[in-house]
Amino acid sequence: MTELSGRKAVITGGGTGIGLACAARLAAMGIETILMGRQLERLEAAAATLPDARAIRCDVTDDDSVTAAFSAAGPVDILVNNAGIAAAKAFHRTSMPEWQNIQAVNVDGLVRCTLAVIGSMRTADYARIINIASIAGLRGGAYVAPYSASKHAVVGLTKSLSLEYAKTRLTVNAVCPGYVETQIVEDSVANIMAKTGRTREEAIAELAKTNPQGRLIQPDEVAETVAWLCSPLSGSVSGQAIMISGGAI
């Protein structure tokens, strides 16, 4: 995929987990990568491990921060909307601020970043937007209603934008993994341990049961799908919600 050399990608939530794996995979394809997130020191440490990478602080919940970050980045060819948060709680115990916090990052933040690039991407000779959603955005899940709703919104937006810009060179797709071995899953494991008294191994096994293959997805597996969606050979693929779940659906 050397034809992508010289292209530029922004990856939000790029300092760890899926975001960093995506940045590393795209960098290996010759793409200039810009890692965005709230913790600049962590971003800079991650960027230092990649060729031709930069770190830019960006809080996706803040209009001014997003405007400044994308202004500093300049025109980009690829946007990987990866920044996201999750929480587990019974719906009847969920407060409106808790609900709104998840939507603010997972939905509104994604919209802000997309709006920041859509103007130039509409007329570009090559453009990709890849939204990291979740299998929870396709089938729902108990005790994760705010998160599931946010990811349903991401999938719906993906499908709508793919149709709206179908006559351009921009494709818009979503990647929907099951439980991925990242910090978010570590937080879920800790939550299970605290509420049920299970061991760490038992908590991980509980999450892995949602995958028919009986394992957690690895960040590199998600990154490989993102890399393919960036390829010129995926130019006819748009509006898709691609599952990485071991056949769970």
pLDDT digits (tens, 9 = 90+) for 123-134: 999 999 999 999
pLDDT of residue 2: 61
Catalytic residues: 147
Query: 């800079």: which residue's tokens?
Result: 44
Residue ranges per domain, the chain?
2-178+218-236, 181-216
Instruction: Assess contact for 239 and 37: CB atoms under 8 A.
Output: no
pLDDT of residue 190: 80
* CATH architecture designation of domain 2-178+218-236: 3-Layer(aba) Sandwich (3.40)
Q: Which residue has the higher pLDDT, 190 or 69?
A: 69
Report the alpha-carbon angle 147-85-143, nearest 5: 35
pLDDT digits (tens, 9 = 90+) for 200-243: 888 777 777 888 888 888 999 999 999 999 999 999 999 999 99
